[in-house]
Amino acid sequence: MRPKVIAHRGASHELAEHTLGAYLAALDAGAEGLECDVRLTADGHLVCVHDRNLRRTAHKRAVVSEMELAELSELDFASWKNPWADLDDEAPDIDPELGGVLTLRKLLETVAGLDRRVELAIETKHPTRYGGLVERRVVKLLREFGWTEKGSPARVMSFSWTALQRIKRAEPDLDVVMLMDSAQRWPVLKPTIGDDWLVGPGIRELREHPSLGKRLRKAGHRIHVWTVNTEEDLNLCLDLGVEAVITDRPAYLLELLDG
């Protein structure tokens, strides 16, 4: 069976990451899952933003955790992707709803309203001033949607072992993915993670450490790989039999797999 194609922050190669527009484009392309990063605002809302600060994606010197949702809603999260658009008379206007800050609730509502199963890979970012409150809010929201039981379309990912422990204590049946950005971490992680935990190595680590993928498979863990954007990297994942590939280019990978 081929790996599932998960859109990394939406169709983020073409459109601004974490915007509703990027996720809708990924869904239109046929993506089988959506990946997002989440952070807590000062008034307790989960928003889909990767960076701790807003300089890169909203051109503002501010920190997400110090702003309220209403303040974030006034910002443009899309124009950084195409900074010359205002000089192009033929460029379409950016719809504020498609290019503004996206809440996790809105993303879940979008997926829940589809007529096909689409999975969600939710990464909690750490360190953060709010600590375990992030995981508690994620679990609470998933419970509202009924997505904490076995077979749920949602799973929670993190580079933080402690964060995933919080998730499993709160909802033992919810899938978690232990992300890895270094092959050297695996000998330390292997004895500490649950047998049912998924493992999420970066594609660079799999390229640079050919034995890593084999060790993960031998340990019996399901594998989700990030961020897979080329045919060469996709073929490596196919050889390893990974369960899912997380990509900035969902349409391209789907064409390679099914076209």
Would you give per-residue pLDDT tens digits along the chain (259 residues)?
A: 899 999 999 999 999 999 999 999 999 999 999 999 999 999 999 999 999 999 999 999 999 999 999 999 999 999 999 765 555 656 566 677 899 999 999 999 999 999 999 999 999 999 999 999 999 999 999 999 999 999 999 999 999 999 999 999 999 999 999 999 999 999 999 999 999 999 999 999 999 999 999 999 999 999 999 999 999 999 999 999 999 999 999 999 999 999 8
The set of catalytic residues is: 8, 50
pTM reported for the whole predicted model: 0.95
Q: How far apart are the C-alpha atoms of 238 and 257, rounded to whole Å? A: 10
Q: Which CATH superfamily is domain 4-51+102-258 in?
A: Phosphatidylinositol (PI) phosphodiesterase (3.20.20.190)
Measured in degrees and rounded to the nearest 5, phi and psi for residue 118 equal -130, 130
What sign has the CA pseudo-torsion 144, 47, 36, 77? positive
Q: Is the peptide bond before 227 cis (omega within 30 degrees of 0)?
A: yes
Distance CA 77, CA 57 (A): 5
pLDDT for position 206:
98
Write the DSSP symbol of residue 150: T
Model pLDDT, residue 82: 79
| pLDDT of the residue at 251 | 98
Q: Domains of the chain: which residue ranges?
A: 4-51+102-258
Round to whole Å and give the CA distance between 202 and 96.
Answer: 33
pLDDT for res 86 = 56
**Can you list the alpha helix ranges (DSSP code H) found in the chain?**
20-29, 55-58, 69-72, 96-99, 104-112, 133-144, 161-170, 186-189, 203-208, 210-218, 231-240, 250-258
All residues at 6 or more sequence positions from 230 whose CB lies less than 8 Å from its CB, including other chains:
none
What is the biggest distance separating any 2 CA atoms in the chain, rounded to whole angstroms? 58
